[in-house]
Structures are given as structure tokens and as C-alpha cells.
Amino acid sequence: MPVSPRIPIKGRGAVSNPEGRFETRQRENFDDGWDIEEPPLPALETVVTPEPARSVISRNQSPDIPFTQSINPYRGCEHGCIYCYARPSHAYLNLSPGLDFETRLFYKQNAAELLESELRMPGYRPAPITLGANTDPYQPIERKLKVTRSILEVLQRFRHPVSIITKSTLVARDLDILTDMAQQDLANVMVSITTLDENLKRSLEPRAAGPWARLRCVRALALAGVPVGVLNAPIIPVVNDHEIEHILELAAEAGACCAGYVLLRLPYEVKDLFREWLHAHLPERAAHVMSIIRQMRGGRDYQAEFGTRMRGTGEYAELIARRFALARKKFRLENLRRMRLSCAHFRPAPGGPQLNLEL
């Protein structure tokens, strides 16, 4: 289906703000015939709203995900990554997965209190908790709100294992907590590096940290004794797939102990937003990129089936898998033991309603 070119918006990933799939009305611009020059639209402002919550720990049973528990301190993400598979979740709020996702943000202001309450429940059984499974826990508003840090403080007191996924260098701010937890196998970090091309990063992930800053962050975490890996995600054919080997080489030099990857995923509204991005930023490659994506997705834009949604199928997907495996082996990024977390140290923190049985 042909896509009308749109003008990129500086500092934003999406180039439009389409209605979510649950909306009953749709709007579109049209020429009414009046030869009147329209004033420029005002600059997009980021609006941050507290979100009341009754619990913070989410659970899943997906065979594609290596964890069963996660916490998402924020809904929406100011990083603005055009490929973000979390964008469709904004439709549940009657907001757009496009620009609304990047500018209408929500945070769980009582996350630490709720987490402490859940960890104190008599039937709670500890299992590693992942921060960043949906949106980035260290997006720019975390610098002021410190919701993620408050969660880490609770997990540290309870000696509860945590894994962090981020593309932000702000994670280094919390090295005091992470270093202490890592000494007891209670913390690890995966830093997402999508591209080493600064120009591509500015349109693909407009408000995320630059690639070289992320590599410096990997080095800082490794030197502090925090187990750290690199996630090359997403891999996008004819856009960043040529960088696989170089990213892994530099990740190993920075001190990463392991690496993983995810193929581009285009669920729900993301597929149309990504097409618009291609036509706005890479028009000469747009048709070729989507053609290869469909080759890796059984002739469709996306396959949601377990077992294939993260890696794709077909010859091109198999080629990426082989290249990644060879590079990971060459640069010795297979030390998954270093990333193991322990639940053996978990205990209810002092000060709660449970009795302290220590003598």
C-alpha cells in the first residue's frame, strides 16, 4: 500500500499521530480549497502524569522470554524509538501509538511502596525481576522522578535479584546500588545498542543516548563489577544488519560478557508507523526493506507466534542467526554464567509487618 511521505519532526521518532485500533473515529488532513497559509504547529511538549496502580509486578509465561516477572515504572517512552513494540499499548489509554506514545507519559509514583508490599506477601516466591521489558526504565524523565531508583532501593533491601534492559547511560547513576547487589549475584544489565551510526540513531532513536556513550556505559558497568551484556536490537534488514559484527566487537572490547539479538517486530500499529518512517528517512530503500521483512515473516509484516516472533523464518533470518552466532563466538560473548542471578539471599527487609526470626 503506498504511503504518502511525511515531514520528519526533529527529536521525535514517529512522523504522525494516528488513532489507536480501538478508536471509532479517524481524522485526516485535506485541502479545503481556501488559499490561506496555515500557521506552523506549536512544538510538541512532553506531558507527564502519575498513574495510580494496585500492583507493580507483571508476570508472563511466554516461552520466548527468559524471565517470568517484570516491572515497568513508566508507560510511554520519550526515547521515541520508531520500532518500539510497546507503542500499541497506548491504544488502551485512547491515545495514539504515534507521537502520543513519545509525549504523553505516565509513571507509577507509588511503585516502591507497592513493590515492598508485594514482596512481603506470605505466598511470594522470589524469581528475578526484569526492569525494561516494555519501556525503558531509564528514559529522560527518570533523572528527575527516580522511580526506577526507588524500585532498586527496595530490591536491594530485600536482596532480591534484578535484571535491567536499557539504552540509556543513566543506569550508571545507580552504580552504588548495582555494584553492591552484583557482589551477591543479585543484579545484571543488558545495554541495547542498535547502531553505531550517529545519523541513523538520531532518526531511529531520537532521544536515546548515542552509541558511543552506551559503549562507555558498558565499560563503566564492567569495571564496577556489574555483569553486563549487549543486546543488538532490533536488527533491521538493509538498515543496520551490516553492523552486527562491529557492534559485537566493540561490545567485547568494552567488557561485555554476552550478547543477544532480536529481529525487528512490527505488531499492530507499529507496522504503519515504521513504513512512514522509512518513506520519510530512507525512501530509496523503503520497498526493499519491507520486502525482506515479509520474506522473514512468512509473507506478512509480522508473525506473532511463539518460537519465531523474535528471530523470524526463512533464508535471510537464518543468515542473520548464523552471522550473529559466529560473531558472538569469535568475540567470546557467550559467558551466560556471568549473568546468572541468585534467589538464595532473598529475605523480607526489616521494618515490615513480618516478624524477624533472626537471633
Of 271, 305, 281, nearest to 97 by C-alpha is 271
pLDDT of 355: 42
Check: CB of residue 229 under 8 Å from CB of residue 188: yes
pLDDT band (50, 70, 90) for residue 37: low
pLDDT of 28: 61
Model confidence at 177: pLDDT above 60: yes
Model confidence at 4: pLDDT above 90: no
Helix or strand (DSSP H, E) at 315: helix 315-330
Distance between CA atoms of 136 and 85, rounded to whole angstroms? 12
Of 189, 128, 85, nearest to 343 by C-alpha is 128
Helix or strand (DSSP H, E) at 296: helix 286-296
Residue matched to cell numbers 548515542: 210
pLDDT of 22: 75
Mean pLDDT within 346-358:
61
Strand intervals (E) in the chain: 47-50, 57-59, 69-71, 74-75, 104-107, 129-131, 162-166, 187-192, 228-235, 259-263
pLDDT of 320: 98
Check: CB of residue 154 under 8 Å from CB of residue 115: yes
This prediction has a pTM of: 0.90
Distance between CA atoms of 143 and 141, rounded to whole angstroms? 5
DSSP, collapsed to helix, strand or coil, labels residue 346 as coil
The percent helix, strand, coil of the chain (3-state, each to 5) is 35, 15, 50
Report the length, in residues, of the chain.
Answer: 359
Whole-number average pLDDT of the chain = 91
pLDDT band (50, 70, 90) for residue 1: very low
Distance between CA atoms of 167 and 169, rounded to whole angstroms? 7
Q: What residue ranges define each of the domains in the chain, with the CATH number in brackets?
A: 47-339 (3.20.20.70)
Of 149, 158, 215, nearest to 176 by C-alpha is 149
Q: Which grid coordinates are listed for 136?
A: 525503558
pLDDT of 2: 44
Q: Which grid coordinates are listed for 277?
A: 518512517
Distance between CA atoms of 241 and 248, rounded to whole angstroms? 12
Residue 92: CB atoms within 10 A of its CB come to 11
Mean pLDDT within 270-297:
97
The string of pLDDT tens digits covering residues 191-217 is 999 999 999 999 999 999 999 999 999
